[in-house]
Structure 1
Amino acid sequence: MSKIGVPIEGFSDFSRQVAAEGAVLLKNDDHTLPLKPAEKVAVFGRIQYDYYRSGTGSGGSVNVLYTTNLIDSLLEDKTVTIDEEVLEAYQTFIKKQPFDDGGGAWAAEPWFQEEMPLMDTFVQQASERNDKAIIVIGRTAGEDQDNRAEKGSYYLTDKEDRMIRLVTTYFDRVVVVLNTSNIIDLSFVESYDPSSVIYTWHGGMEGGRAAVDVLVGHVTPSGKLPDTIAYQLTDYPSSQHFGSDVQNHYVEDIYVGYRYFETFCPDKVRYPFGFGLSYTTFEVNPKPFQYDATHQQFRFSVTVTNTGDVSGKETIQLYVESPQGTLGQPAKRLVGFMKTRLLAPDETETLEIKLSLHQLTSYDDSGVTGFLSSDVLEAGDYLFHIGTSVRDTDIVYDENKQPYHLRQTIQVRQAEEALKPVTPFKRMKPGKRRADGTYDCLLEPVPLRQQDINKRITDRLPEALSFKDTTYTLQDVLNKKITLDDFIRQLTDEDLAILVRGEGMVSPLVTPGTASAFGGVSDRLLSLGIPVGCTADGPSGIRMDSGEKATQVPIGTLLASTFNPDLIEALYRYEGKELIQNEIDLLLGPGINIHRHPLNGRNFEYFSEDPYLTGIMAIANVQGIRKEGAHAVAKHFACNSQEQSRNQVDAVVSERALREVYVKGFEMAVKEADLMGIMTAYNPVNGHFSASNYDLNTTILREDWGFRGIVMTDWWAHMNDPVNQGVPSRAHTDHMIRSQNDLYMVVNNYGAETNRAGDNTLKGLQEGTVTRGELQRSAKNICRVLLELPVMTRKQVFRDDSGLIPSQSGVVNHPLLTTQPLAVSNETITTFNVNETKAYRMYVTYTSTGDALSQSAMTIKLNDQVVATAQANGMNEIAIKQKLPKVTLEQGTYTLSFDVQKAGIYVKEMIFIPVD
């Protein structure tokens, strides 16, 4: 019996534990939290009911068996007494003003929900009945929908502002719970001085219960901020260069987040990176650091003692202050961290953080150190700071009470120039050191591209394997009877062109409702033993647009807030089990782009503003999934820092910032977790679209880092010429293959063999814009990964046939005529009659709204049994005919109906063609 759509036992409970550990307590005056047993509490804010579990878009579209909210979880917990009058008022309001999902269409859900108006007398009377108040503020954003510097997004609405003002006026102790995907404006903290403020983020399907676990003290908060919270949105250095439709100049360079604030303007920070309070207190005692005889490895030992009254965890953070040298450096840079176990009062634990010398290097993209295109260590003192946030640290020295000192600049690793910008701009650099230890902020020209990219590509063209007409199977490679080269030799040009196409979404060849099928997407490829691999959206749980259920876990920002990679690895081991049970080979996650700016709508899928924390969390995610047999696909490679115009805005960034910040997490996952899948971004990087960017996908990823996996495009991506840029198009698979992005996602179902996408791979072979050797190289990459995926050893079941659907008795409104389509619509329930039992191929014609990257889906039912799933991206209402699986209908009556999973798709007709 199939277990598809059956969540893994224990997964949701563990997810609840993780969600609680990621809550970040920012303020807690007078021990307002935790709530005490039998206290009377009034809960304000409609989000207590409409509690968000995730952001929007593909990263949040998980069908779950249930979800939890804050108020029901408080009532279920019974630690405190909830005010019934306030409760009933919100229940009445929500009935009249239900949750607005924007009609369920892609990127249509609003950032906020309309709040219930409050009157002074209502709040005042509630304060007389209760000991404390909770205010819940919620926000969402996501794919295709950035946040905005507007009320109801980054800023509070007028009604929310009035709610906080009134409640803090009449209640002495007020807790503000922030159920948000991104950080929001916190100026209300100064304006109204609530007693407690806590970010619970989006905690997945168990987020409501997890938040209550923290509020009532079942769990002591131990989360730390993965981002800096500044006083003003305009304080973030990327603010002037965010939201363009054409180009984003990364003027802040490596000075992202705390690296900027701690270096140039610490006074602009409300809550620093790494900050988070607890219900207990800790004493932190670092010892002198040690290093081995070669000075390649450092060890930092820290004892942590719980000096409070309740059990809790603390995170120790290690930062380096490098010499400014000629390159320029941030005041502090995170290079290590470790979290204690749960310590009881008076209990002590000794932590040891190990650090390699290479972690201290910087990349010289200008040659000012004398070592161009190299990882270097500049001469001078390296000061190490240990503490519990980027601000709360002490300098630690060696046993001689000295910092680590380098007498001369060292070249640690020679690389080669890759992906420098061609557009001139200036970047930040520290200038004169001020009396307070900060620096003047200067601007210097960014080094521009020097290498001949065309020469680089042509000099490194792979030699084609000579064709050999054999009938080997991929299983022969698995069984070591032949080499992978032997197998690839027998593939024709047509075979190769098909192999680099993925099909979807909701392909009937793989698990229903998932993102794509790739590999054996033609009869010929199947006959050669190439299986059909399955990918599914993530990273916060498996998305199946067929309506099948899965477990939704907390968002990436919350996961990073735990600062606990062991916990995250354990969580994604559960995810790996669920992938295997649902016959899914690759999860499209983790998302590991950098939180460059607070308004990026997709920040919730990503981890942090810091590349090291991002990389550690990515490693935990990838390893967890891999240990259960499935694999991860890290995304979006690279510089996906905004959703506005995401398929065209050019990230203009220095090579140093790219290597040290924006691709560092990918590098760590490749080198330390043997990552097998990467998805490129929609946007160009320095003029070349990510999906056809040679230096990104070949020079850096494969030649520099040694990546041996598969690179796929994001869905319906554009590519342009890897040398001359030119006009981008989805058809330019020749440019994609040349860059060593192996797989185009996606062509329509049943479209890979017939090239329904209209790509130019074969034309490129004829015209010389791609070679057979390059195609074979990508084919080897794809097959190499397939050999390691679960599909290679499991029995593959193709879902191209929904089997026999029993008839029913009833009134016949329409005879089934194969020469005449059934005229239907989403709202239509059509009853028709079948005169004799036959197998039929189904076809559906539909239109869809939204832009080209929007996604809509519906399931098609016969007699209430799902027989197919149809998916569409925005097509400007052009009618599309799609082939669906076969179905066998017996003599009798059938009812045809549709169940919309994501709005925006409109059915026009259905056709049933007899199958011989």
Structure 2
Amino acid sequence: MKKYDYSLKKYAKIARQAAAEGCVLLRNENETLPLRTGDKVAVFGRCASYYYKSGVGSGGLVNTKYVVSILDALKAYKGITIHEPLLQIYEKWIKENPIDEGNGWGTVPWSQKEMPISDEIIALAKKDSNVAVVIVGRTAGEDQDNKNEAGSYLLTDIEKDMISKVSKAFERTVVLLNVSNIIDMKWVEEYHPSALMYVWQGGQEGGNGVVDVLTGQVNPCGKLTDTIAYDITDYPSSAYFGDSKKNYYKEDIYVGYRYFESCAKEKVLYPFGFGLSYTTFDITANIKEVKEDKVSVAVMVKNTGKKPGKEVVQVYIKAPQGKLGKPLRVLVGFGKTRVLKPEESQELLIDCPKSYFASYDDAGITGHLSCLLLEEGDYDVYVGADVRSASHCGSFFQKEVILEQLQEACAPVECFERFKLQESKTKTYAMAWDRVPVRKIDIKERIKDLRTSEIAYTGDRGYRLVDVFEKKVTMEQFIAQLSEEDLRCLHRGEGMCSPKVTPGTAGAFGGVTPRLREFGIPVACCADGPSGIRMDSGAFAFSLPNGTLLGCTFNLTLIEELFQMVGIELLKNKVDTILGPGINIHRNPLNGRNFEYISEDPILTGKIAAVQLKAMHEFGVTGTMKHFCANNQEQDRCVVEAVVSERALREIYLKGYEIAVKEGHARAIMTTYGPVNGIWTAGNFDLCTVILRKEWNFDGIAMTDWWASANWEGQEDQKTNRAAMVLAQNDIYMVCQDAHEEEEIDNLKEELECGVITRSDLQRNAKNILNFILQSPAMLHELGKMNLDDIEDFNEGEDVATTPEITEYFPVDLETGRLILDCIDETIQFKDIINFGITTAGEANYSILLEITTSLSKLAQIPISVYFDNIYRGTISIQGTEGKTILVTEKIGYIKGKYHYIKLVCKEHGVTINRIEIIKEVE
């Protein structure tokens, strides 16, 4: 391993820069920004101090040692003065109106109650301030979508009133949107704030990044990764989003700007790629070279303003309409300059692969069925700072050419109509309707044709996985030793919070049984992401800017530097793969999980995912791309079916994954919960084998999402149908409590005996898993060859992530459903925080009972916060007992899985917890 500087200080510096470069300035009238030395700033909005560092759920709840809010960062900046009386008003109001943290991530509100702003407050602030900063916050996340309602996609009446009053009172009013996704923006033209900026969710350094931009230390250079339309109904997907059973992707390939720039420009408030700067740039470009496989565009960028800054250059192609029909703009390449001083120029050479703007013919209308091709005609190249302002810089003639002869895969079984762009006699375009081709192939026959040969069983020949590592035996010789039971167990990942790997992580796979360990198969570890390592044990990790913000940077070099740090952090914590990047497409603004994902554009998404993976690969660790594919709605995500054409899949929803595999050399991928075109993705052979492995040459592992289902086509989905997953070449089922115990639960043994799956299917999956482990740090740890000393400053200063020393799990009694802990036992002495592991008695609702004695008076208010798997579940509030003992309870909620963590936090002195009971509730 090469020498590499790793420290919290460096990590924070890079993350802070990323948070700054992801800020997108949409409005800046009369040079409201940057803030000037001597400005007196009035700060409005409770989210000034309650900063949303990320969305919620598995992709966001990273436990951090600190989070810098926007207010924290403003206070630390010496060049301005913050209006203290206004802050004191907010502090008093917030104390009386505490944050609603929900009870588990499915109950977290997307916004918090905001303080009403009276005319008296405005007058007070205006008297001693010349600038107002208004902060509006939103979160979002797993299991539920945004809604076209106040407090979610729309502003509340109180928020509108606050922006309106402040904007009228202050000539310089800056509105900051600390949000996970784009929100409704119609209010901007109604209230006219003089400056407006999306600051997204910047992780633990987010507040610093925002203030760097506000104060001009970083010139804003972020660009929108989504089109912001006037109304939610203007997005073509909105009419086909939110159903509980099926969503028809009738907009087809016309997603985001591909639709708006083709036939609905008038519906756009802020176009894709848009973002202002404190300076100005001149962009000139020409086509430098057209080769067989790519187009190269030379771009000269000159800073024509008065301040130094960076600019993003975007290259778009307008292809001929041909027989298939095309969007009028498709992003095919981009680049970002260094910081340019006034009058300084930089030339960028942007290579644009032709595969980025090729079309897939799923109907045979061109005479080339199931081909990725370029139709004959003139291709126009546009270059600029956003999709709308990009200007024509040249054209080239392209003969018809087939780039790839593919095969039908994942086609719909249900006929429906989709959009197709149609040119009128006046050379304008509108959407017409076209019938979607349905599946023609026989999947069962395809599975038989592609089935691999069985490796004859030899029994234990004494080979260990190290022998394959050292090339003493082949992988086939090693796998020949594994019994059918071994192979079935290898398919089963364990978790959450498995004690076999780093405490609190999401799962373990590989050598999860004693017999597999005897073969020298190590246990590999995966942790939730992509916004940082989520560990339910309460261990600290670094919280990253969210996916959308990273997309808005358009800065591949910066993202590479950031994910090099992620790679080292994973290595340090013995995590082989983080569950990310999230690379689904922003099909609709209401998808609650858009914050994890990057963009409405598949090329930008794929390029950013690829560079994240390559950066982590430098340190032997990797990311698990998710959610494969078409996870574009969180509500009813386990059952709602995506009904989508094969063309839209290949050009939009799979394209980012393809780029990440081919350019980022992806090694792991996670399927979704729900079905695509009738087949749940966890057991979708066309998706996991034909496209992923046969066409893209992916040679890594595929795993399910946690507790996912699969189905035989035409039948209902079942969590126990692991045979469908094995057959599809989805290598690992995530997750089981115990791989051995699962023999009595899943259908692997039964379907193997019936011949539905074969030993060769299990052996093929085993080969994928073991080849992954051979390339992972888990194997080096197994061999005692992992040396972290080559990372400079590894142990210097404050650690970024720390693993708690939880060595014992206390079992809930299976018969009584109770766990009783005597806190006099020195294993859990109470010192502000009690943190311990438990093993539960099966899936059920649980409560916690505390026996408490305090020496405090009855006037004392004592809050005890209860966390389950590092997720806040509620606060037990008691008064002082003056030495008496009391019993109090709090509901933990529904628990599934075997291993968990309980954390109790109480900052009051003179409190003794004598006894803790974890109680399984009787139905």
Q: TM-score, normalised by structure 1?
A: 0.88
Using the TM superposition, give the Cα deviation of residue 440 of structure 1 relative to its aligned residue in structure 2, in angstroms. Answer: 1.5
Contact 1:847–1:908 (CA<8 Å) still a contact in 2?
A: no
Alignment of 1:482-497 (within 5 A): 482-497=473-488
Alignment of 1:335-734 (within 5 A): 335-397=332-394, 403-406=395-398, 408-433=399-424, 435=426, 438-469=428-459, 470-721=461-712, 724-734=713-723
Using the TM superposition, give the Cα deviation of residue 336 of structure 1 relative to its aligned residue in structure 2, in angstroms. Answer: 0.4
Instruction: Indicate the residue corresponding to 1:914 in structure 2.
Output: none
Contact 1:692–1:738 (CA<8 Å) still a contact in 2?
A: yes
Instruction: Indicate the residue corresponding to 1:737 in structure 2.
Output: 726
- For 2:813 and 2:659, locate their aligned partners in 1 and report how far apart those are by CA, in whole Å: 56
- For 1:69 and 1:443, locate their aligned partners in 2 and report how far apart those are by CA, in whole Å: 49
Alignment of 1:745-784 (within 5 A): 745-748=734-737, 751-755=738-742, 758-784=745-771
Instruction: Indicate the residue corresponding to 1:94 in structure 2.
Output: 94
Aligned with 1:283: secondary structure? strand
Instruction: Look up the equivalent residue of 2:586 and give its one-letter code.
Output: H
Contact 1:7–1:550 (CA<8 Å) still a contact in 2?
A: no
Q: 1:242 to 1:305 in 2, by over 3 A?
A: same
- For 1:306 and 1:552, locate their aligned partners in 2 and report how far apart those are by CA, in whole Å: 34
Aligned with 1:623: secondary structure? helix
Instruction: Indicate the residue corresponding to 2:297 in structure 1.
Output: 300
Instruction: Indicate the residue corresponding to 2:919 in structure 1.
Output: 908
Instruction: Look up the equivalent residue of 2:253 and give its one-letter code.
Output: I
Q: Deviations over 1:474-521 (max 9, x none)?
A: 110000001101111110000000000000000000000000010001
Using the TM superposition, give the Cα deviation of residue 307 of structure 1 relative to its aligned residue in structure 2, in angstroms. Answer: 1.1
Using the TM superposition, give the Cα deviation of residue 359 of structure 1 relative to its aligned residue in structure 2, in angstroms. Answer: 2.8
Instruction: Indicate the residue corresponding to 2:861 in structure 1.
Output: none
Instruction: Look up the equivalent residue of 1:23 and give its one-letter code.
Output: C
Aligned with 1:755: secondary structure? helix
Where structure 1 has 5 or more consecutive residues not aligned to the other structure, the ranges are 1-5, 398-402, 806-815, 835-839, 861-873, 886-893, 899-905, 911-916
Alignment of 1:159-170 (within 5 A): 159-170=158-169
Q: Deviations over 1:612-651 (max 9, x none)?
A: 0000010111111111221110000000001000000000
- For 1:20 and 1:883, locate their aligned partners in 2 and report how far apart those are by CA, in whole Å: 37
Aligned with 1:98: secondary structure? coil
Q: 1:842 to 1:644 in 2, by over 3 A?
A: closer
Aligned with 1:604: secondary structure? coil
Q: Deviations over 1:149-171 (max 9, x none)?
A: 10000000110011011111211
- For 1:112 and 1:129, locate their aligned partners in 2 and report how far apart those are by CA, in whole Å: 30
- For 2:133 and 2:892, locate their aligned partners in 1 and report how far apart those are by CA, in whole Å: 45
Q: 1:628 to 1:119 in 2, by over 3 A?
A: same
Q: Deviations over 1:180-204 (max 9, x none)?
A: 0000011111101110000000000
- For 2:805 and 2:73, locate their aligned partners in 1 and report how far apart those are by CA, in whole Å: 43
Contact 2:330–2:357 (CA<8 Å) still a contact in 1?
A: no
Using the TM superposition, give the Cα deviation of residue 818 of structure 1 relative to its aligned residue in structure 2, in angstroms. Answer: 10
- For 1:841 and 1:226, locate their aligned partners in 2 and report how far apart those are by CA, in whole Å: 42
- For 2:871 and 2:355, locate their aligned partners in 1 and report how far apart those are by CA, in whole Å: 52
Contact 1:376–1:412 (CA<8 Å) still a contact in 2?
A: yes
Aligned with 1:421: secondary structure? coil
Alignment of 1:808-823 (within 5 A): none
Instruction: Look up the equivalent residue of 1:72 and give its one-letter code.
Output: D
Q: Deviations over 1:829-853 (max 9, x none)?
A: 743599xxxxx99754476559xxx
Alignment of 1:162-181 (within 5 A): 162-181=161-180
Using the TM superposition, give the Cα deviation of residue 425 of structure 1 relative to its aligned residue in structure 2, in angstroms. Answer: 0.7
- For 2:411 and 2:625, locate their aligned partners in 1 and report how far apart those are by CA, in whole Å: 23
Aligned with 1:726: secondary structure? coil
- For 2:573 and 2:375, locate their aligned partners in 1 and report how far apart those are by CA, in whole Å: 51
Aligned with 1:612: secondary structure? helix
Q: TM-score, normalised by structure 2?
A: 0.87
Aligned with 1:371: secondary structure? coil
- For 1:475 and 1:896, locate their aligned partners in 2 and report how far apart those are by CA, in whole Å: 50
Instruction: Indicate the residue corresponding to 2:69 in structure 1.
Output: 69
Contact 1:68–1:205 (CA<8 Å) still a contact in 2?
A: yes
Contact 1:847–1:875 (CA<8 Å) still a contact in 2?
A: no
Using the TM superposition, give the Cα deviation of residue 795 of structure 1 relative to its aligned residue in structure 2, in angstroms. Answer: 4.5
Q: Deviations over 1:28-50 (max 9, x none)?
A: 00000001011111111111011
Instruction: Look up the equivalent residue of 2:193 and give its one-letter code.
Output: P
Aligned with 1:636: secondary structure? strand
Instruction: Indicate the residue corresponding to 2:219 in structure 1.
Output: 220
Instruction: Indicate the residue corresponding to 2:308 in structure 1.
Output: 311
Aligned with 1:71: secondary structure? helix
Instruction: Look up the equivalent residue of 1:444 and give its one-letter code.
Output: D
Using the TM superposition, give the Cα deviation of residue 361 of structure 1 relative to its aligned residue in structure 2, in angstroms. Answer: 1.3
Alignment length (residue pairs): 841
Contact 1:742–1:779 (CA<8 Å) still a contact in 2?
A: yes
Aligned with 2:751: secondary structure? helix
Q: 1:533 to 1:880 in 2, by over 3 A?
A: closer
Using the TM superposition, give the Cα deviation of residue 877 of structure 1 relative to its aligned residue in structure 2, in angstroms. Answer: 5.0
Instruction: Look up the equivalent residue of 1:69 and give its one-letter code.
Output: S
Instruction: Look up the equivalent residue of 1:317 and give its one-letter code.
Output: Q
- For 1:303 and 1:880, locate their aligned partners in 2 and report how far apart those are by CA, in whole Å: 57
My pick for the range that moved more, 305-314 or 353-362, is: 353-362
Instruction: Look up the equivalent residue of 1:58 and give its one-letter code.
Output: S
Aligned with 2:51: secondary structure? coil
Aligned with 2:824: secondary structure? strand
Contact 1:508–1:800 (CA<8 Å) still a contact in 2?
A: no
Instruction: Look up the equivalent residue of 2:230 and give its one-letter code.
Output: Y
Using the TM superposition, give the Cα deviation of residue 286 of structure 1 relative to its aligned residue in structure 2, in angstroms. Answer: 1.2
Contact 2:314–2:384 (CA<8 Å) still a contact in 1?
A: yes
- For 1:883 and 1:131, locate their aligned partners in 2 and report how far apart those are by CA, in whole Å: 52
Aligned with 1:336: secondary structure? strand
- For 2:401 and 2:661, locate their aligned partners in 1 and report how far apart those are by CA, in whole Å: 25
Instruction: Look up the equivalent residue of 2:469 and give its one-letter code.
Output: L
Instruction: Look up the equivalent residue of 2:647 and give its one-letter code.
Output: R
Aligned with 2:224: secondary structure? coil
Alignment of 1:864-879 (within 5 A): none
Contact 1:848–1:856 (CA<8 Å) still a contact in 2?
A: no
Using the TM superposition, give the Cα deviation of residue 106 of structure 1 relative to its aligned residue in structure 2, in angstroms. Answer: 2.4
Where structure 2 has 5 or more consecutive residues not aligned to the other structure, the ranges are 1-5, 785-802, 828-835, 847-866, 873-890, 903-911
- For 2:75 and 2:628, locate their aligned partners in 1 and report how far apart those are by CA, in whole Å: 44
Instruction: Look up the equivalent residue of 2:219 and give its one-letter code.
Output: T
Instruction: Look up the equivalent residue of 1:564 and give its one-letter code.
Output: N
Contact 2:591–2:634 (CA<8 Å) still a contact in 1?
A: yes
Q: 1:644 to 1:796 in 2, by over 3 A?
A: farther
- For 2:65 and 2:837, locate their aligned partners in 1 and report how far apart those are by CA, in whole Å: 32
Instruction: Look up the equivalent residue of 1:453 and give its one-letter code.
Output: I
Q: Deviations over 1:669-723 (max 9, x none)?
A: 11111100000001101000000001000110011110100000000000001xx
Aligned with 1:729: secondary structure? coil
Contact 2:201–2:545 (CA<8 Å) still a contact in 1?
A: yes
Contact 1:594–1:611 (CA<8 Å) still a contact in 2?
A: yes
Q: 1:472 to 1:153 in 2, by over 3 A?
A: same
Q: 1:878 to 1:227 in 2, by over 3 A?
A: closer
Contact 1:8–1:574 (CA<8 Å) still a contact in 2?
A: no
